[in-house]
Amino acid sequence: FVIIPTIFMKLILNTSLVSLFQDVFEFKRLGVLFTITSLISLYLVKLDATVEYAVVALGEEFLFRHLIFILLMRSFNNKESILIGSLLFALIMHLNGNLFINLLTKFPFSIILYYLTNKYRLQDAVIVHWLHNVLVYKFS
């Protein structure tokens, strides 16, 4: 969810790879949040699930809240880009799930993740997504 889409974005936008990674994270905040979330996740689930859900959250958030959002903002305003990106997240990323349930749960969750990214940068959306995945795994 990171390498190939980033290469496509570089080609589409005719930009450098470095520019696609600038200002994505606030690293001090990321360090604190990552440490706390890692400890919570390790307490709730095993190491393999902790790593899996961290990687999944990072990949999906980078793809949707960063790369796809950049593309959408080229044609739409902020609100429209968030709504379209959230629809894509709910429908495309979770094709194997029930359409109605995806729209009811993943769509609003995605809007919240876009809000967090716009307000605090990507690390907050990654952390919330990661914790969500851990909690769903643990309690379902």
* pTM for the whole structure: 0.92
Print the SS3 string covering the chain.
Answer: CCHHHHHHHHHHHCCCHHHHHCCCCCHHHHHHHHHHHHHHHHHHCCHHHHHHHHHHHHHHHHHHHHHHHHHHHCCCCHHHHHHHHHHHHHHHCCCCCCHHHHHHHHHHHHHHHHHHHHHHCHHHHHHHHHHHHHHHHHHC
- pLDDT value for 68: 96
Domain ranges of the chain: 3-139
Digit-by-digit pLDDT tens for the chain (140 residues) are: 789 999 999 999 999 888 888 899 999 999 999 999 999 999 999 999 999 999 999 999 999 999 999 999 999 999 999 999 999 999 988 788 899 998 999 999 999 999 999 999 999 999 999 999 999 999 99
